[in-house]
Amino acid sequence: MTANAATVTRARTGGPREDGPKIFEHAMGWTLVVVLAMFVTQLGLL
């Protein structure tokens, strides 16, 4: 069995797709970081 045949028969498990919008994921990640930082400072934990 070649490597190409092995990848074709592999089932999708519902994980992240490789061709997704990387800039959107990057922006949402930084937005989450900023929101968490605002939450922490509002609670006075820092």
Q: Concatenated DSSP letters for 1-46?
A: --HHHHHHHPPP-S---TTS-HHHHHHHHHHHHHHHHHHHHHHT--
Is the pTM above the cut of 0.75? no
pLDDT confidence of residue 2: 62
Q: Terminus-to-terminus CA distance in the chain, angstroms?
A: 56
Which residues are CB-neighbours of 40 under 8 A, at least 6 positions away? 46
In the chain, which stretches have pLDDT less than 50?
Answer: none
